[in-house]
Structure 1
C-alpha cells in the first residue's frame, strides 16, 4: 500500500505546531543542579530584535593596502616655520593620564639612536598577552614593521620546549626530558622555585639516574645515528634504559652529566628578518652544580662555556655566523638546572618578544621575585613592555576587583624597572550567543574602562583595541569578514595582521609627535 504524500507533511506540520506551542510556555533557562539548560522561545528567537553590528568597512579597506610598513611621515618645518601634526591614525591614538603624554619618550629616544647609528646594541620589546598572541600572532607583524624601519633581526625570546605556542617564525625541536612549569595554572605550585622566566615558564632539568652507558643521538637533517658520549656536536641525548620498568622506559629521567637541549630551525614561512640570527642569548640558573652550555650553529660548535653554581641569574651570549639554518642550545648539567629561554637576535636593532600565557588575565607576575624579574629585564636590555590581556576575564557587573589586581601587576613592573615604559592594550571585543544572535559580552566596555584606569594609575600608556575594532558588537563583523575565528574571541592570522598594523600605526603616530616636539621652532 502506498503511503499518501500528504501524511508526512501533516505529521511534520503537527510537530512544528507542537514545538511552537512549547516555545510559548518554556522558560529561556532551566537550572538543574550544576547544569543550565537553555531553550528556544519566541522572546529570544523570532521576536527578539536583531542587534546592530559595527560597521568595519573603513577597517577592511586596510586589507587592500600593500603589506609594507607605512612610510615615515614628513615632519620637517614648513616654509611658514610651523610644524604640521601628522594625521591621527584611523584606529585611534594612545591615551594617557593628564600630564603623562611623554611616557614613551625614553623608548622613542632609543629609536632615534638606532636610526642615527649612535646606539650599537639590541633593545628588547616584550609583548605579553594571553592566547590571543599564540603562534606569534600580532607580535610577528609588529616585529617585522619595527625591524624594517629601525633595524634588527631574529624572532626574539624562545622557550626551551614549545608547549602551546607553535610559531611560523621559527620551527623548534627539543629533548623530551625537559620538565615544563608554567607561571599560570595549578602546575606552577609544583615548580621547584618561584624563579620563573619572562616567558611565564621555567624549563627544569633534574638529573636522577647514574648510568655510564650513555648513547647520544645526533640529528642535523632529520637523520639519527648513535655516537659516543664525548661527541660535543650532538644535538640530543638519552640514557640507556635497560633494566628500567616499561613505564620508565617510555619517558626515562635524564642521567647525571647528560647533555640535553633544544634546536631552533629556520622557518621558510617567516619574514626575512626572522630568518636572520647573529647573536644567541641563553638565560638560566644553576643553583647546585656547575653547568656547561654549548651553542651550535648549523651543527657546528660556535660557543662553549662553563658556569659555576649560582643562585643568581646566568646569561650566556654567543655571536654566530649569519647563515642561520638551525641553532642548537645544549646543557651538560650535573645538578638542577632552571632555564628561562633563549633569544635569537641581531647584534644591534630591535628585538620583539612574543609572550602568550594561555588562560591568563595578566595577574600572575607578582609571583616572580622582583630581583629575578629585574635582572632578566636588565640582561636582555628590555626598553618597552606591552601588556595585552582580557579575553580570559569573565563577565561581571563591576570590574573594580580586576582594576585593582591588574594595577598591582603594572605597578610591580613600574617599581622594579621605572625606566622601562609600559603600553597597555585593552581587551578585544568578545561575543557570546544570545538567542540566535551573537552579541558582545555584558559590560565588556566596563572591563576596557577598568584596564584604562589601571594603566593611568600605574603611569602607563593605553591603546583601546576594543574601540579600534569598532566597539560594541564588532566581533561578529570581524568573524563575517574572516578576521576572527568562529569562537568569537580569537583573531585569524589575517585579523591579527590587521590589528598589528593598527597598533604599529598608532605607535608611529606617537613617535612622530615626539620628533615634532624635539624640533626647534623658528
Structure 2
C-alpha cells in the first residue's frame, strides 16, 4: 500500500512539474490593462535574454545640437543642449541674470520649476535650490500653495492651514480654468481661513529665515488680511479691488508668518512666498497626474500678472511620467499640445529662458519577470528633444543623466534606496543625486557661456 501511494505521489509531482514547464509556452495574458508574468520555473538558471531594441524608424531623428560655441561636454556629464536661435529663449536669459547678480546687483534670479509628481513635495528642487543659493546667494523656499496634500511630506517648510476651499486643474469637476493661478490652483477662503509657513533647517540650509514674504490674491471686493510675523503682534491691511493680482508683503528677518483672512468678498488666493532680498529663488510648481498640457489653459493675463510679481529668468518644464506608455511610439498629438503650451509661456514671460527636462527612466517587468526600461519612455524622450529644437529652447536629457536603460531599477536597488518600488518615482535621496547632476550641468553651461562671450569679444 505504501509503495502504491509513493508511486502515485511521484506520478502526480511529475505531471505538475511537466504542466508548469509547458505553461511557459503559453502566450502572455493581459487582465485589466496589466500584463501577467509568464510561468518560468527555470528563470533562475536560464541565461538572461539580450535586450530587444525597439525599431525607431517611426521616430523623429535626434536633432543636431546647434551651439553658438562648439565645445565638448565634460566626460561623465550630461550637458544642457541649447537649441535657441536669435530669439535667445534658451539658457542665455538665465546666464545673463546670473551675471547681473554676480556684479553685486541686489536682484533676485528666479526659477519656475514646473513638473508632475516626480518633484512633488520639493523632491529634487529642494536640493537644487540649496546648491544654487549656496553658490549665488538667496534664502527661503519660494512659492508655497495655500493648501497642499503633501504638506506633511515636504521637509523644506512647515506648512499648516485651515478654512480653505481648494481647487486644482486635475479636479474632475467644479474647476474653473479662468480662475486658476500659475500653479494650476486657486483657493477660496472661508471665515477665519489661515495659512502659516515656518522656515526649516533640518533638510536643507538657508531656509530657516528669509527676508520677504508675500501672499498673492485677486479680489473683486474689499479684503482684510492679517499677518503675524515671528509670533509678534499681528498687522492688518485692507485691500480694495484693482482688477489685477495683488500681494500683501512684509519684510525683515522672518522665521514664521501666519496669514489670516479676516474679511473677504469674492477673493481668490493663490499662494504665499518666502524669499531673500537677493540671490536665487526656486519655485516648485508640481501638479500630481499632469501631462503639462494644462499650462495652456492658464489665462494669459493671469500669467502676465504673476510675471510682474515674480519675473522669472528661467522656466523649467519636466513632464512625461503621465504620458509615456509601455510601448508608445507616436506622441505627435501630445508634442503638438506642448508646443502650444511653450508658446503660451513664451508670450507670458518674454524675459525668461526655457529648459525642457526630458522624462526620466521608468522600468517595468516583462512577461519573463525581468526589469526593463519602458520603450515608450525612450521614444517620448526623443520627441521632447525635438520639441526643444523646434521651439528654440534648451533641453536636458534626464534619462541619460540617470544612467540610461534600467537606471531607475539601479536607484531602487541602491543602498540606501534612491527610488520607490513603483520603479517610476525617486525619493529625496534620489532627488539629491539628480539635483547634483542638473546643478553641475547648469554651472558648466554658465562657464561655457562665459567662454563664448570672451571669445566673441576677442573677435575683430
Question: Is the structural similarity TM-score above 0.5?
Answer: yes
Contact 1:89 1:509 in 2 (8 A): no
Which aligned pairs between 1:299-378 and structure 2 lie closer than 5 A? 299-301=231-233, 303-322=235-254, 324=255, 326-378=256-308
User: Residues of 1 paired with 2:5 and 2:86: CA distance?
Assistant: 77
Corresponding residue to 1:480 among 410, 413, 417: 413
Deviation at 1:315, TM superposition (A): 1.8
Deviation at 1:302, TM superposition (A): 6.0
Q: Which runs of 5+ in 2 are unaligned?
A: 53-68
Deviations 1:249-290 (A, max 9, x none): xxxxx4xxx332111123242322111211112111112x20
Deviation at 1:478, TM superposition (A): 2.2
Q: Which runs of 5+ in 1 are unaligned?
A: 54-82, 206-253
Contact 1:202 1:339 in 2 (8 A): yes
User: Residues of 2 paired with 1:510 and 1:127: CA distance?
Assistant: 18
* Stretch of structure 1 that moved more, 304-313 or 121-130: 304-313
User: Any idea what SS the aligned residue of 2:293 has?
Assistant: coil
Contact 2:311 2:349 in 1 (8 A): no
Which aligned pairs between 1:189-208 and structure 2 lie closer than 5 A? 190-192=174-176, 194-205=178-189
Matched, 1:521 2:458: yes
Deviations 1:24-65 (A, max 9, x none): 55331156xx57673524599576844569xxxxxxxxxxxx
Aligned residues: 433
Q: Rg bigger for which structure?
A: 1
Corresponding residue to 1:270 among 192, 196, 203: 203
Corresponding residue to 1:421 among 329, 332, 353: 353
Corresponding residue to 1:151 among 137, 140, 143: 137
Deviations 1:215-264 (A, max 9, x none): xxxxxxxxxxxxxxxxxxxxxxxxxxxxxxxxxxxxxxx4xxx3321111
User: Residues of 1 paired with 2:154 and 2:206: CA distance?
Assistant: 15
User: Residues of 2 paired with 1:266 and 1:376: CA distance?
Assistant: 23
User: Any idea what SS the aligned residue of 1:108 has?
Assistant: helix
Corresponding residue to 2:228 among 296, 301, 311: 296
Matched, 1:184 2:116: no
Deviation at 1:431, TM superposition (A): 0.8
| 2:36 paired residue number | 38
**Structure 1 residues 357 and 7, CA, compared in 2 at 3 Å: closer, same or farther?**
farther
Deviation at 1:403, TM superposition (A): 1.3
User: Residues of 2 paired with 1:163 and 1:35: CA distance?
Assistant: 28
Contact 2:84 2:394 in 1 (8 A): no
Taking only aligned residues, the RMSD between alpha carbons, in angstroms, comes to 3.1
| 1:452 paired residue number | 385
User: Residues of 1 paired with 2:234 and 2:275: CA distance?
Assistant: 15
**Structure 1 residues 304 and 88, CA, compared in 2 at 3 Å: closer, same or farther?**
farther
**Structure 1 residues 308 and 401, CA, compared in 2 at 3 Å: closer, same or farther?**
same
| 1:438 paired residue number | 371
Deviation at 1:365, TM superposition (A): 0.8
| 2:441 paired residue number | 506
**Structure 1 residues 390 and 7, CA, compared in 2 at 3 Å: closer, same or farther?**
farther
User: Any idea what SS the aligned residue of 1:321 has?
Assistant: strand
Contact 2:82 2:91 in 1 (8 A): no
User: Residues of 2 paired with 1:116 and 1:259: CA distance?
Assistant: 45
| 2:97 paired residue number | 110
User: Any idea what SS the aligned residue of 1:186 has?
Assistant: coil
State TM-score, norm by structure 1.
Answer: 0.76
User: Any idea what SS the aligned residue of 1:414 has?
Assistant: helix
